Structure formats: structure tokens, C-alpha cells
Chains A and B, each alone.
Chain A
């Protein structure tokens, strides 16, 4: 029976040879992301900035110009009106109004009054100043807490170099994802935080698989130079890395194409995160171990020999 082979058996690609290039590339991209984040900033959605959002469906293609005129005349400050997935689907975003919680409510009443009952109101979201500040805070805490909790777990399961390496790779992925949001000015909402946390989980998953193999090989091949050890481990796990990224990307592309406009940017962020996470587990997480001075088993570790035998017997 024919079996599709994505990766040849027993590849011997010298991933670590490229480490200076890839680490430099990652560093440049990370710095660029941070600069974009600080300079341009994120296009914060109403979840974090407060304000309101209305999605309407019109009878036939929407006349955006006329909508802008009608709603622009209401004096609501900065109003964004754009097509949302289909020509008869329009998203209206209004910035937070001065005057506390009640002022946000008035916006919706105003817009409903101006547009009348001819359009279908598909979605209305209003986030007041109190909640938006809380959401921004708990979102930030969530990402930091997740990274920290996972750091502790990996530290518990591996040596500290692995934990630090995994966290560096994960932060790299998070930073690059935030960079993407800043560069493309994608709407950054609560679901973006969910996307980032999923990326954190996925990226670690990938990194842990590579590290697991590094640890196993380190016990088995005690004399192998560390660069070769890392290369061997990445090559051994390469077909799995590619397979899993592909199945996940297949499922996500189905969601991106058919899942509807509401979650499209959420899925887009995840697709990017999976791609970056796959790259980083090979080109960032593995070479970083070199620079963190990964100790070989047996060097001042009494349990090393026993562990090696146990694994060698497998």
C-alpha cells in the first residue's frame, strides 16, 4: 500500500549550522514586533478600549457612503464603518463616549434611531469603561500566568535550561504574534488573547516533543557533541513536527474558510501562531539550549548513568 511520505526517512539536515542566521532573524523580527507594538500600537477592540460595535445586515449590498453620512451626522466621534465578510454585512465601530456607562448605551439607541428597522441587527456589543479596564488587566495576567505556570511545569520535568529555553521560544512566538497584530492592525480583542494562549500551548507542545528527544538522546549518546545531538533530535522528530503542524493547519484552514467572519481573525492569529511555533521549536528552542550551557548527563549528576541504562534497554 502506498504511503505518503512528507519527510524522507532518516534525514540528516544540519539545522544547527543555520543557528546564527535563524537566531539573528528571530531577534530582528522580535525587535521589529516590539517596535511596532510600542510605536504603532495594537488596534485595540472595544473589549479593551471600551465603546460599541454593531453588525448589521442590509437588504441588498450596503451603501457604505450613505451609512457613513447618516451615522457620521450623529456626532459620536470616531466611527469606523466597513464591510464585514459580505457586501450586505456591515460592521460599525464607535469609540468610547465621554460620560461613563450610560453614555455608551445612548450610542446604540442613537444608531438604531438613525438606521430604523429596515436593517437586521445581527450583533450589538457595548463595553463600558469599567469592564474594558478589567478585561485588559485580566487578559495580560492570563498570558503571563500561563507562561509562568508552564515554566514551572517544565522546570519540574526537565532541567532548568530546558524550562528557560521553552519559555524563550514561547515568548518569541507570543511577541511575533503581537507583532503581526500591530503590523496588520488586526482588531485585538478577547478572542485574540484566547488565540495567544492557544499558541502558547501549541508552541510548548512542539518544543516539549523536541526537548523530550534531546533529553533521551543526551542520555543515550554520551560522547556526541552537543551540536550533533541537537541536530539528531530535531531530525528524528522532524516528520512528526511537520505532520502535526499540517493536520492542525488543515483543520484551522477549514475553520478559516468556512467558519464565518466572526472568528476569522481569531483563526488567522492561530494559523500564524502555529507556523511560528513550528519554526521556533526547531530554530529557536533547540539552538537556545546551546547557549544556555546544557549540562550533559553524567557530568556531576549521579542519576545519569541509571537513567541512561533504563532508556538504553528500550
Chain B
């Protein structure tokens, strides 16, 4: 136990050296570190949002809306298919998770089923082959046909909606110009957004929480709004409300003139006449053509600009708008005009996003937490170190050297892994300080016992290390199991705690068992003690 081969000494010291080197960048500012030569480690600990301040926002994609939209298009596809094939039908509608339709003529039933089956598209899987189709057609009694979304088809829809949403959320947040936002997918239908250093995430939430579906519709002028309000809504129109207080009803045609998908640019600006904030936009070629055609045919009629089912404004078409650009005026402030422009540039979300969880820490609290955590860590270390020296004297000092190296290793490994240090993570380090000496306590107590049993100094030290090993391993592996489970089931700051705890356990076993033993072995070789001063 006290004999170390040369390479073992070299490896042990090398690991300690790497740990210390990896810790060094944390003592300097980011700017200083950036100028260091290439061979020096430059990675620094990342501080969690609870320490540097910032917002953690968990978004959920409204999968119900995704499915609903898919069913609606499926219904339209069924209608188009049957019309094209000149097959008579009744009772077309969405029923739960499927579209149902009754074919009027028994003779064309098989034809209808065949045609509808052609609507199915294969769903790709990870391995390039297909895992079935996205829809299934089944038949019922009396000419009924059901078109059902399959599990695979649904998942694919939701999945692509989530991917698309992430892209759009990213574009919107990038427009805010905040530093280092992270946006990642979590689970099947979640998006985690983490933005450091925001005082108030209200604007951020407003930006990512809005679907921003922009459409242009003609206003239905054939029916007075008041008639429609009393229940006589024409089948091709619907009542929407303005953003005014109180909201005013507007009867608009359901048919979309042009939608936000045709926008190529949107910029905030000011109206040249009234000097009010507006958003000016430009359509792509096909959008410009359609907009030009409709405005040409409807001069003198009002049209409505609709954002997420709310009427922003309903201006009258004074002249054909042929250039493909225009401006939206509403009750904008400079900021709301700017935000709308951002939303229009980034595009509409495929489905609404719900904010499921939000945790925001202000920079003041973060700074206080860092200071409190550092103070506690320093005081805790000083207490434990003094206590170890009081109890074990010289050997306590040896254990303390190992403890300090352990601290360097933990922070070094965290820096190399670019792990995030959270407040519970600091607690994990402080707890490790307390528990790290346990391995040395186990060894030292064993040495005391062996010495009392009459063994020589060297023999006591030797069996102390040997007999304590299995206990040290058992004791630490059980804690490691708890830390690993905590990592897998925890989130955010709790994960930070699990990570530091787990790293702490591994470095503790190394420093307390290997590094500390090396110190003791060196001491024994130099001094040749007749008794262990423990």
C-alpha cells in the first residue's frame, strides 16, 4: 500500500496538476483569459441562471391545436378529392380524431375509398424506411368512410411543429439582442428557453407567446354587423373584434386575401402624414400579385388586417396597391410597432405556445447568492480544516492538502465539462467538503486501531489503507447512485447539485485514497517513523 511505482506517482500528480490548471481561468476575467496562449486552459465555469440572473421559460406546444389544424386540412382534402371525382357525399365533418363522410351512392363507395387512400403519405422513420402511413381509411355501415390520423402521422406533425416553433422562437429572441440565449427541445412537445441577464421577461414572453398569424381579409359589407351579431352570420364570413377598448365587432370574409407567409420584410416606421408609429411591409411576388388583383377589384371597400384572430385595423382601399408594399397602422406605440415588425419578420408559429413554467432571478439576488455561497464555502472549509488538524495533527494536515486539491479538481472538472454552477451546486460542493474528509477519517481511525492492536507504524498505515478501501468504495458508490438518479430526474438547479455531488464523490475517492496515500507514503519513506502520530 505504501509502495508507489514511478508511473503511478506520475499519473497521480499529473491529474492533480491538470485539475489545478483547469481551475486557474476562473480566477481571471473572460477578457484576460481570451488573450492567453493556446496551450493554457481557457474554459470557465458557467454560472447558472440563479447566480447570474436571467429567465428560464418552459414552453409547451399546443398539440391539440396542431392536431385540430391537421384534421381541418384533412377535411378540406377529402372534400376536394370527392368533388374532383364527382362522388356525391353528405355529413362531411371532423369527429374526434378522424374525419368522417357518408358516400351517397353505394356504387361509388369503393371508388371513394380508393381515392381517399391515395391521400395517405408515408411517414419517414429514423432509419430511412417508412413506418406506415400518416392516415388510415376505414369504412363503416351505410356508406360511411372514416379517415383517421395514425399515431405515427400525429407524432410526425407534432414533431415538425415543435422543430418549426424552435426555429421561429430563436429568430424572435435573436431580434431582442440578448446575450447567449439557449433554446432547446425538451421531450416531445416542449421548448426550454434560457436567457441570462433580463430584468423583466415580460417583453420576451410577449414575443414568444404570440402566434403572430397575420392575414388580410375583405370586410363583408353585404350584411350589417348588427344583423350578424344577432345570429345571422353569412356562412362564408365570421365576426372578429378589434383591439380597441371596448372591442368593436367587424364582419370579415373567411377567405384569406393574402397571408403573412407572403411577407418578405416588415419594418417599424412612422406614418409620413400623422407621424404615428406604423409597421411597413413588403410582399413577395405572388403575394404582391394577389394583393394587387384584389385591391384593384375592390376599390372603395374596407379590408381587415387580422393578427391572431384580432382585427388590428380595417382601412378602406382608396386605390389599387400594386407595388407589393404597404403599411399597417393601428394603435401602436414605438415599442409595439417594433415588436410586431419582429414577429412578422420571424414568421408565425405553427401552433400556439403555452408558458408552462417560468423562473426568473434578478441580477441583484444572483450576485447576493454568489457572495453568500462563496462565504459559506470558505468558512465551511476553514472550519473543517481546523477541525481535522485538531483531531489528527500532522495527518490532518495531509488530509487537508488532499481536501484543497479536491476542491481544485472539482472546479477544474466542472470547468472542463463546461458544467453549469448553480446555488444548489455550491451547496453540493460545501457538502462534499464535509463528506470528503470521511474517507480519510475512515483510514485514520483504522490506522489508530491497528496501532493500538500492537502493529508497527508502517504495518498500521498499510493495513489502515487496505482495510478501509472496500468501506470507502461501498459508502461512496451508494451516494453516487443517489446523485445519478437525482441528475436524471431533476431539472435546472437541482441538476447542478447532482453534477457537483457526483463529481465530488469521484474526486474525493481519488484525492483521499490515492493522493493522500502518496503524501503519507512519501512522509514514511523520508522519516522512517517508529510510531504514527495520529
Separation in Å of the B447 CB from the closest CB of chain A? 11
- Interface assignment of B434: CB less than 8 Å from any CB of chain A: yes
B486 in contact with A240 (CB, 8 Å): no
B364 in contact with A120 (CB, 8 Å): yes
B445 in contact with A139 (CB, 8 Å): no
B533 in contact with A1 (CB, 8 Å): yes
- Interface assignment of B4: CB less than 8 Å from any CB of chain A: no
- Interface assignment of B380: CB less than 8 Å from any CB of chain A: yes
Contact digits for B363-392, partner A, Cβ 8 Å, 1 yes 0 no: 011001100110111011101100110111
Q: What are the residues of chain B within 8 A of A191 when measuring CB–CB?
A: 424, 493-494, 497
Question: How far is it, in angstroms, between the C-alpha of A153 and the C-alpha of B391 when the chains are bound?
Answer: 33
Q: Which 3 A-B pairs have the closest CB atoms?
A: A251-B434, A260-B372, A248-B434
Q: What are the residues of chain A within 8 A of B423 when measuring CB–CB?
A: 260, 262-263
B430 in contact with A251 (CB, 8 Å): yes
The residue from B58, B449, B476, B489 contacting A141, defined by CB atoms under 8 A apart: B489
- Interface assignment of A222: CB less than 8 Å from any CB of chain B: no
A197 in contact with B482 (CB, 8 Å): yes
Question: How far is it, in angstroms, between the C-alpha of A146 and the C-alpha of B488 when the chains are bound?
Answer: 11
A258 in contact with B490 (CB, 8 Å): no
A204 in contact with B364 (CB, 8 Å): no
Question: How far is it, in angstroms, between the C-alpha of A263 and the C-alpha of B435 when the chains are bound?
Answer: 19
Which residues of chain A in 76-126 are interfacial with respect to chain B, using CB atoms and an 8 Å cutoff? Answer: 100-102, 104-105, 109, 112, 120-126
A205 in contact with B427 (CB, 8 Å): no
Question: How far is it, in angstroms, between the C-alpha of A94 and the C-alpha of B139 when the chains are bound?
Answer: 52
Q: A101-B60, A131-B357, A248-B435 are in contact. Are A153 and B452 (CB under 8 A)?
A: no
Question: How far is it, in angstroms, between the C-alpha of A7 and the C-alpha of B368 when the chains are bound?
Answer: 40
Q: What are the residues of chain A within 8 A of B466 when measuring CB–CB?
A: 314
Q: Determine the interface band of chain A, counting residues with CB < 8 A from chain B.
A: 35 or more
Nearest chain A residue, comparing its CB with the CB of B386: A250
The residue from A9, A109, A126, A246 contacting B357, defined by CB atoms under 8 A apart: A126
Question: How far is it, in angstroms, between the C-alpha of A127 and the C-alpha of B463 when the chains are bound?
Answer: 54
Q: What are the residues of chain A within 8 A of B448 when measuring CB–CB?
A: 9, 239
- Interface assignment of B481: CB less than 8 Å from any CB of chain A: yes
Interface size on B, residues (CB 8 A): 82
A201 in contact with B392 (CB, 8 Å): no
- Interface assignment of B354: CB less than 8 Å from any CB of chain A: yes
Segment of B11-19, B280-288, B467-475 in the binding face: B467-475
- Interface assignment of A3: CB less than 8 Å from any CB of chain B: yes
Interface residues of B (CB under 8 A from A): 50, 58, 60, 199-202, 205, 209, 354-362, 364-365, 368-369, 372-373, 375-377, 379-381, 383-384, 387-388, 390-394, 423-424, 426-427, 430-431, 433-435, 437-438, 441-442, 445, 448-449, 452, 463, 466-467, 470-471, 474-479, 481-483, 485-486, 489-491, 493-494, 497-498, 501, 533-534
The residue from A57, A102, A154, A267 contacting B364, defined by CB atoms under 8 A apart: A57
Nearest chain B residue, comparing its CB with the CB of A1: B393
Which residues of chain A in 118-157 are interfacial with respect to chain B, using CB atoms and an 8 Å cutoff? Answer: 120-128, 130-131, 135, 138-139, 141-142, 145-146, 149-150, 153-154, 157
Question: How far is it, in angstroms, between the C-alpha of A262 and the C-alpha of B377 when the chains are bound?
Answer: 15
Q: A126-B355, A153-B478, A157-B474 are in contact. Are A258 and B375 (CB under 8 A)?
A: yes
Question: How far is it, in angstroms, between the C-alpha of A36 and the C-alpha of B64 when the chains are bound?
Answer: 41
- Interface assignment of A283: CB less than 8 Å from any CB of chain B: no
A270 in contact with B365 (CB, 8 Å): no
Main secondary structure of the interface of A (DSSP, over half): helix
Q: What are the residues of chain B within 8 A of A240 when measuring CB–CB?
A: 438, 441-442, 445
Known interface pairs A101-B356, A260-B423; 5 further A-B residue pairs with C-beta atoms within 8 A, sorted by A's residue number: A123-B359, A205-B438, A208-B474, A255-B431, A257-B376
B489 in contact with A252 (CB, 8 Å): no
Interface residues of A (CB under 8 A from B): 1-6, 9-10, 55, 57, 100-102, 104-105, 109, 112, 120-128, 130-131, 135, 138-139, 141-142, 145-146, 149-150, 153-154, 157, 190-191, 193-194, 197-198, 200-202, 204-206, 208-209, 212-213, 216, 236-237, 239-240, 243-244, 246-255, 257-260, 262-263, 266-267, 270, 314
Separation in Å of the A137 CB from the closest CB of chain B? 10
Question: How far is it, in angstroms, between the C-alpha of A249 and the C-alpha of B383 when the chains are bound?
Answer: 10
Q: A128-B354, A208-B478, A267-B427 are in contact. Are A142 and B486 (CB under 8 A)?
A: yes
Question: How far is it, in angstroms, between the C-alpha of A79 and the C-alpha of B355 when the chains are bound?
Answer: 22
Q: What are the residues of chain A within 8 A of B435 when measuring CB–CB?
A: 202, 205, 244, 247-248
A6 in contact with B375 (CB, 8 Å): no
Question: How far is it, in angstroms, between the C-alpha of A204 and the C-alpha of B481 when the chains are bound?
Answer: 11
Q: What are the residues of chain A within 8 A of B478 when measuring CB–CB?
A: 150, 153-154, 201, 204-205, 208
B501 in contact with A251 (CB, 8 Å): no
| 27 contacting pairs across A/B (C-beta < 8 A) | A4-B391, A55-B365, A101-B354, A102-B355, A122-B361, A124-B359, A127-B357, A153-B478, A191-B494, A197-B483, A204-B479, A204-B482, A205-B478, A205-B479, A208-B475, A209-B475, A212-B474, A239-B445, A240-B441, A250-B384, A251-B381, A251-B434, A252-B434, A254-B376, A254-B380, A262-B365, A266-B427
A202 in contact with B424 (CB, 8 Å): no
Q: What are the residues of chain A within 8 A of B381 when measuring CB–CB?
A: 251
The residue from B427, B475, B489 contacting A142, defined by CB atoms under 8 A apart: B489
B379 in contact with A105 (CB, 8 Å): no
The residue from B360, B365, B424, B470 contacting A194, defined by CB atoms under 8 A apart: B424
Separation in Å of the B406 CB from the closest CB of chain A? 13
Most chain B CB inside 10 Å of its own CB: which residue of A190, A191, A197, A212? A197
A123 in contact with B434 (CB, 8 Å): no
Q: What are the residues of chain B within 8 A of A258 when measuring CB–CB?
A: 372, 375-376, 379
Q: What are the residues of chain A within 8 A of B388 when measuring CB–CB?
A: 247
Separation in Å of the A212 CB from the closest CB of chain B? 4
A153 in contact with B384 (CB, 8 Å): no
